[in-house]
Each structure stands twice: as C-alpha cells, then as structure tokens.
C-alpha cells in the first residue's frame, strides 16, 4: 500500500488506500466486562472522512471457510459499498474498473473480521470479492443503489491480469457455478 493519509472524525478513522476512493475505516469500540458498543455508521462523520454517499440497501451473507465470492460488479447500475464482517474473518478485495483511472485494473485488499471491527469502503466502478478465512463468516454491506438482478457482471477471481494475492486457506476453494464461469479481464 502506498503512503496513506488518515482522517479521524468521531469514532471513525478513515485511511485512504493507494486507489482513489477506496478507504479502510477503523471503528472505535467501547467495551467492558458486559461486551462492547460501537457506531458502525454516522453520516456526518463519514462525510468528514470523505465518503459522501446515500446508502439505500443493506445486505448480509453467511459463508463457510473457503468460500470465495466474486469478483462481482454492476454493469449499468454501479453501487458503492460499505462492507464489514460481524462474525468470523474474510479477505476483502476491490478492483478498479474505472476506465481512465490511473489505477485501472489494480486491486486493494484488507482483512475484515469481527475482532478488528474494520470496514472497507468501495466506490462505484469497482469489482468486489471476498474469501472466507474462518470456519464461518457473516458479512454485511450497505449499498448506495438497490440490487438490479439483470445487471450483474464478473471476472475470474484468479485472473492473472489483476494478480490478486489471495491468502492461502487449508481447504479447497468453494465457488458458485456463476463465479466459476466469469470471463477473463480484457482491460
């Protein structure tokens, strides 16, 4: 990752990555012997951190170790996504598909877990995927456009054009039929 600049607003620290718009968000949690409390989203703080989108849909998925979902993108109705893990651990990836971008075809990845409480913001114009590293994981994400079922695109997770360095897991990867049939990137 290139040199980064962090902005703290409220209980959030926003760290810009080497790809414009892609942001890692660390969240302050308040805990004691009863458990913890944390804010997961607060619009004024996100705007101060450089993320000014209106989220309109929340999604959640559950997966077992070795599941790799992606790389997915929207063709005509792109979505910004704010992703996090509420149970377990995943390696989450964003690939820049914005034509004309100086980082076109480049990727950024981060480990998200229930333990680190980290979030990842992926702006419109990116392919997205994640690999489950723990026995189980529950993954949530906010989107700034609703899901359009006939608007899905995808590229192979292991396309050499991207060179994504996926972590090794001690099991076979599990991909959906759809994810096994994605075309190669021809950027």
Question: Is position 77 annotated as part of the catalytic site?
Answer: no
> Which two tokens mark 37?
């409390």
Known catalytic residue: 155? no
Reply yes or no: is the peptide bond before residue 71 cis, omega within 30 of 0.
yes
Catalytic position from the list 30, 36, 41, 72:
72
- List C-alpha distances in Å: 119 to 23, 27, 34, 142, 167: 8, 8, 23, 11, 19
Burial class (CB in 10 A: 0-12, 13-18, 19+), 126: buried
Cα 60 versus chain centre, distance:
13
Q: Which tokens is 118 given?
A: 């980290």
Residue of 141, 155, 157, 182 with catalytic role: 141
With 0-12 CB in 10 A as exposed, 13-18 as middle and 19+ as buried, what is 8? middle
Tokens 């910004």 locate to: 80
Catalytic residues: 72, 141
């Amino acid at each position: 990752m290139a040199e980064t600049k962090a902005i703290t607003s409220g209980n959030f620290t926003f760290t810009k990555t080497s790809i414009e718009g892609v942001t890692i968000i660390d969240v302050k949690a308040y805990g004691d012997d009863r458990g913890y409390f944390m804010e997961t989203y607060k619009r004024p703080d996100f705007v101060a951190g450089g993320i000014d989108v209106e989220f309109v849909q929340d999604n959640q998925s559950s997966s077992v170790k070795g599941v790799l979902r992606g790389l997915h993108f929207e063709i005509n109705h792109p979505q910004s996504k704010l992703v996090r893990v509420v149970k377990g651990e995943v390696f989450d990836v964003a690939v820049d598909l914005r034509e004309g971008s100086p980082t076109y075809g480049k990727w950024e990845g981060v480990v998200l877990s229930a333990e680190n409480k980290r979030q990842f913001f992926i702006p419109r114009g990116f392919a997205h995927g994640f690999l489950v590293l723990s026995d189980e994981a529950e993954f949530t994400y906010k989107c700034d456009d609703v899901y359009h079922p006939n608007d899905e695109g995808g590229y192979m997770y292991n396309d050499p054009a991207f060179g994504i360095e996926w972590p090794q897991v001690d099991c076979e990867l599990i991909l959906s039929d759809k994810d096994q049939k994605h075309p190669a990137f021809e950027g």
